[in-house]
Chain A
């Protein structure tokens, strides 16, 4: 017996490798759609808030409420509630493709709020200077707000990616697959502590990698 088999007698390594791949696919797919939906939503929140470029307090109130509601629902419940929606969009209710819909709906409002906060950090004077130069709101968003808040946006993306790792693991419980599913099925339900240990260790490594990539990018783009 090899040392690996001695230490972790129950583990089927190819299955672990497949689960890693599934987790990465779910993470990549859901992160992509979270950014695509959350960034405009965050910009919209920022622009419509009181005292901002396109202040519309009532619209802001509605957007803010929707974001808060989606953020308050525990992700595990959101997943189950969204099964009909998932089925309508993807044709399946579980699996990797099925998991991406609730992951995005759970994470996009969270990311949007972080985007809004990052944009508020941009110096108002710089926005005023751009207005004084005759910039349109669109130009202010793309040429001033987003570039100026780039370190904050990267940090927001990192936090969101890490949160998504946690969500994908939860998704495993309702049949999404991935490392979380293994931890739950074999580690928890099947009383195989070595499965629990290996899957959790892999998740820790994944989070560490995401965080250090994020930190490095923030460092590279910080000019203050």
Chain B
């Protein structure tokens, strides 16, 4: 478990202190995948680095597994860091070492392991990330996705309980992003380790995260379960991220030529796949126009979000029936 208690960070710029992160209170539970989303400069990279103390908080505290680590130094700090893996946007592999030696690097840092033990662990890790055939290659000979897999293997080498992901998929193409995210989700399930990832893409959050915090100009403006934040974003920044993920950026609820009130229906879980609308139409005789919508998954949970124009004499009955089926309805202003 990771806890920030009013942790803030300011940088000295030309003699003045410029805040990068305003005091943040946040708890990340053990075993969850926690997303931190924000635009560049929002402070997410700083927040992530407070966890392994690559950045020290200017004020406030950081707790890991209930222990105040804010002022950890020397050997204590290095032991703490050995228990926290980290992967990076630009992979940050050692170009002068082979894939196998990159993965072995953290194991050799802390000593006490013989070569055979290290070699066995490296084989096991390369197997896990699907790179067993590339052990003797140099990073420059690998694709971006393969480099990130080496990064993941290296980060897991010391059997950490926490994995920090710094924009880990931002330099990858969509297909590679999907496979790396799948690997992260798989690692989270199989090894039970806590993953904290920062990103500027809501889609990354939607695919792998359990909970999310939205950072805007150094403030946490919204946090909660991904489904709640994704389906019912409250803060303007969050809405923009969700709109980007839905590819409906810049388009409002403006549907010229459509009459009647507009409703946004949010389905979650089993309700997503039930024939609710057709039974409502049959029972109440209302009519509807489907204006926009998306049916997809948030991590493993199916969801749907549809914008409809609905009209008919028994509109209220229809809405009540939809609500009774566990579907959220919001009237959309137009």
Q: Which A residues are closer than 8 A to B by beta carbons?
A: 123, 125-126, 128-136, 139, 143-144, 147-148, 150, 221, 223-224
Contact A134 B92 (CB under 8 A): no
Contact B54 A132 (CB under 8 A): yes
A150 / chain B contacts, CB cutoff of 8 Å:
96
Q: Is the interface of A mostly helix, strand, loop or mixed?
A: helix
- Which of under 10, 10 to 19, 20 to 34, or 35 or more describes the interface residues of B? 20 to 34
Complex Cα–Cα for A129 and B81 (A): 11
Contact B140 A224 (CB under 8 A): yes
The 10 closest A-B pairs by CB, nearest first: A134-B78, A129-B92, A134-B81, A125-B92, A134-B82, A132-B86, A133-B106, A147-B96, A223-B138, A223-B95
Q: Nearest Cβ in chain B — how far from A168, in angstroms?
A: 33
Of A126, A139, A148, the contact of B109 (CB 8 Å cutoff): A139
Contact B54 A134 (CB under 8 A): no
Complex Cα–Cα for A126 and B106 (A): 13
Interface string of B70-86 (1 = CB under 8 A from A): 00000001111110101
Contact B95 A128 (CB under 8 A): no
Q: Nearest Cβ in chain A — how far from B165, in angstroms?
A: 12
Contact A223 B106 (CB under 8 A): no
Q: Which B residues are closer than 8 A to A by beta carbons?
A: 52, 54, 77-82, 84, 86, 88, 90, 92-97, 105-106, 108-110, 138-140, 154, 158, 164
Q: Is the interface of B mostly helix, strand, loop or mixed?
A: mixed
Q: Nearest Cβ in chain A — how far from B41, in angstroms?
A: 18
What are 30 A-B pairs at a CB distance below 8 A? A123-B90, A125-B90, A126-B94, A128-B88, A129-B86, A129-B92, A130-B105, A131-B54, A131-B81, A132-B54, A132-B164, A133-B81, A133-B82, A133-B86, A133-B154, A134-B77, A134-B79, A136-B78, A143-B105, A143-B108, A143-B109, A144-B94, A147-B96, A148-B96, A221-B96, A223-B95, A223-B96, A223-B139, A224-B95, A224-B140
Contact A147 B81 (CB under 8 A): no
| Closest chain A residue to B81, Cβ basis | A134
Contact A147 B92 (CB under 8 A): no
| Closest chain B residue to A139, Cβ basis | B109
Q: Nearest Cβ in chain A — how far from B168, in angstroms?
A: 12
Q: Nearest Cβ in chain B — how far from A187, in angstroms?
A: 46
A223 / chain B contacts, CB cutoff of 8 Å:
95-96, 138-140
Contact A133 B79 (CB under 8 A): no
Contact A148 B95 (CB under 8 A): yes
- Greatest chain B CB density within 10 A among A125, A129, A139, A221 is at A129
Q: Nearest Cβ in chain B — how far from A124, in angstroms?
A: 9
| Closest chain B residue to A129, Cβ basis | B92
Q: Nearest Cβ in chain B — how far from A174, in angstroms?
A: 42
B92 / chain A contacts, CB cutoff of 8 Å:
123, 125-126, 128-129
- Greatest chain B CB density within 10 A among A125, A126, A133, A148 is at A133
Contact A126 B93 (CB under 8 A): yes
